[in-house]
Structure formats: C-alpha cells, structure tokens
Amino acid sequence: MALVLNEEHTMLRDSARDFLKSRAPVSHLRSLRDGANPKGFSRELWSEMVEMGWPAILVPEQYGGLEYGYTGIGIVLEESGRTLTPSPLLCTAMMGAAAIVKAGSDEQRDSILPRIAGGRHLLALACDESPRHAPHKIDTEAVAHGASYRISGNKTGVADGHIADTFIVSARTGGGISLFLVPAGAAGVTVKPYRVLDTHFAANVSFDRVEVQEQDLLGPLNGGIKILDYILDVARAGVSAELLGIAQEAFERTIGYLKERKQFGVPIGSFQALQHRAAQLYTELEMCKSLVIKTLQTLDEKADGDAELVSLTKSKLGETAHLATTEAIQMHGGIGMTDEFDIGFFLKRCRILENLYGDSYYHLDRFARQRAY
C-alpha cells in the first residue's frame, strides 16, 4: 500500500486538526491544570469528540462504528498530540476498541462496542505490576472458584485507570496467562489515582479477591499473552502517532522561534550551529512519519500485526520526540524554561508517552529479539 494518506483519511485529518485547534488548543490543557481538574480531561470536550465520531473510528459498522481503521484513529491521535489534548482516545477509542474487536466474545462485542462508539464506556489496560514496563511479569492471580474466578493482585501505573468503567486485567490462571474484563465498580477493586507531571492521571489499581465469571474472560483461558501483546502493540502504535504530533508541533514552533528571535542583530536561525541541529531533527522526523504511517497501515492489513515494526516505531518515536522536545527547550533558551510559555508542556507530555507501554530501550531490545539477536 502506498505510504500516503487516502482521500478519506486526509479529510479526517483536516477536520481533526480544525476541531482541535479551535476547541482544544494547548491553552485548554493549561486551563485544566490551573483549574486542578480532578479527572485531567474535559467531559464536555469528550462529548464533542463523540459527536465528531472519533470513538467510533475503529468500531465495525454493525456495532454503530465508522470502520476507518487504525490509520484513521492514528491520524486523530497524531493531531491530538499537536495540541496536547487530554482525552480517552488512546485507551478507549484505540486500545480498548481494538481489544474487544480482536478478542471479544459475541456478547462482549454486542454489549461494549456500541457503548465505546457512543463514548459512554471507557476502558483501561491493567497489565504492569512494576514501575518499569514488563507486561509479561505477572503475579496477579485469577483462582478458579467453582464456575467463577477470584482475581487478586496489584497493577501499577494504569493509564486512564482513574476514569475507566472496565479494566482489561492480565492474570495467571494456572496453565498460563488470561485476560479478564473487570468492572471498575466490582467489589474488591480499589483505584488510587495520581496526577502525572503534565496534569494527566494514572492509577494504581488493586484487586482483592474480585469475583468474575467465565464469560468475563477476554479471549481463551490461558491464551492471554498473544492477545495482550497485540493490544499493547495497538496502544504503542497509537502512542507513537501521538508522539509524532507532539514532535512535529514542537519542532515547527522551534523553527518559527529560530526565525523570529534576534541576537547579535540577526535571527538566531542564521547560525549554523542551530541550523544543522534543526536539519538533523527534520531528517529524523521524516523517518518517523514513514514509520507511523507504515505501522498503522500494517495493523489495518495484517491480522496479527508486526511486533518488529511496532517496536521499531515506538523506540524511534520515543527517541526522536524526546530529542525534538529537549531541543525545543534549548533552542528557545530562557523563555523555554518558563511556565508561562507553552513549549514546556510538549516536553512533559512527551516524557509520559515515551514511558508508556515500553520506552525506547525496552523496544530496542524487543526489536533485536524479533530479529533473533
């Protein structure tokens, strides 16, 4: 498939860009922070996103969705990266929808997908149990108890854990790992939210003998690892798309500043020391654009995804967005360090997404393993 957007996706991108620019620019994030918004996002804005159809993008038409695919939701995430707009798009509209579409039973699809498409149901993935991403290191157990299971364990750093209606939980089930859909309101679930450095939230979620039924299994018993890896890869692709938006916006703002800021009587962008760094960053960003579109298209085309490509993309996007946002601060000089100026928000959001679902080091290692070395 050609590595360019088709007409449908171009229109989606343009409408997403227009909407986010007018309704949720960076000042929206700032006002959420200054108002100490307890959820870290705006329900009103989310309703507008629902009207735009965004949570329905991945959902099949028979469940009230739009079926614009991973490329579609990825484009919207990229644009929301440019404006740093907090929303449940990543965890619910991309990862959550993908999980149910991929592995859900007929009942789960019937019940959950229309509610995702309508923006009425939010999901979060509770998989990690230590501060650093290690999704296969699972101590949480689901013990069979008659026809049901009792889940016990502690999950850490759950993105959107503070607002989720349903958790996707990984747990040991004797013969392997299984995934369960666990309502946030179930007895024994404790959610401890904490604010992360850019006003978003995550949560530590503990499960104390939480009772679930067999029909709450997501995918086959003991067959959870493959699905978990797929869900994570979808999430990583989404994070990468968002990082691409962040990196591009930070870069463009920086280039604008280099042209405008004068020292020694000339624009600082005329200095070769800065020009070459900017040109190198531009080159890396071009590489990143190719990776993101290729990864999204591959998810649309290949049922099992492509672990090597996803890890390459997440690793490279993490690294390049990091470079773009740190260079942004350095090239803005003193003003870049002030809270009053917006560029610092890009650095913060980037650091969070870099860590989420595996940082550049994690994915470099996974890339090499995929290539058998």
**d(C-alpha 281, C-alpha 289), whole Å:** 12
Residue 130 DSSP code:
S
Give residues 198-257 in contact with another protein (rule: CB under 8 A).
255
Q: Is 369 in the site for another protein (CB under 8 A)?
A: yes
Count the Cβ atoms, other than its own, within 10 Å of residue 295. Answer: 28
Q: Using CA atoms of 65, 115, 28, 253 in order, give the dihedral in degrees to the nearest 10.
A: -40
Angstrom CA distances, 189 to 47, 92, 285, 342, stand at 27, 20, 42, 37
Q: Is 273 in the site for another protein (CB under 8 A)?
A: no
What one-character-per-residue DSSP string does 57-79 give?
SSS-GGGT----HHHHHHHHHHH
**d(C-alpha 147, C-alpha 149), whole Å:** 7
Q: Is 283 in the site for another protein (CB under 8 A)?
A: yes
Q: Is 302 in the site for another protein (CB under 8 A)?
A: no
Q: Which of 100, 126, 241, 291 binds another protein (CB under 8 A)?
A: 291
Q: Which of 95, 181, 258, 321 binds another protein (CB under 8 A)?
A: 258
Q: Is 371 in the site for another protein (CB under 8 A)?
A: yes
Q: What angle do CA 330, 334, 340 make, to 5 degrees?
A: 110
Q: Is 263 in the site for another protein (CB under 8 A)?
A: no
Q: Is 282 in the site for another protein (CB under 8 A)?
A: yes
Choose the binding region for another protein from 32-40, 153-161, 330-338, 364-372 (rule: CB under 8 A). Answer: 364-372
272-301 helix and 224-260 helix, angle to the nearest 10 degrees: 150
Nearer to another protein, 46 or 251 (CB): 251
Residue 50, φ and ψ in degrees, nearest 5? -65, -40
Choose the binding region for another protein from 81-89, 149-157, 202-210, 264-272 (rule: CB under 8 A). Answer: 264-272
Q: Is 373 in the site for another protein (CB under 8 A)?
A: yes
Q: Is 266 in the site for another protein (CB under 8 A)?
A: yes
Q: Is 36 in the site for another protein (CB under 8 A)?
A: no
Residue 364: in which H helix or E strand, if any?
Answer: helix 360-370
Helix (H, G, I), strand (E, B) or coil at 346: helix
Q: Which of 59, 151, 169, 293 binds another protein (CB under 8 A)?
A: 293
Q: Is 290 in the site for another protein (CB under 8 A)?
A: yes
Residues that contact another protein, how many (by CB under 8 A): 38
Structure tokens at 373: 């070395």
Check residue 143 and give left, alpha or beta (phi > 0: left; psi -120 to 50: alpha). beta
Q: Which of 134, 197, 279, 337 binds another protein (CB under 8 A)?
A: 279
Write down the least CB distance from residue 127 to another protein, Å.
24
Write down the least CB distance from residue 316 to another protein, Å.
6
Residues of this chain that interact with another protein (CB under 8 A) are 2-4, 255, 258-259, 266-267, 269-270, 272, 274-276, 278-280, 282-283, 286-291, 293-294, 312, 315-316, 364-365, 367-369, 371-373
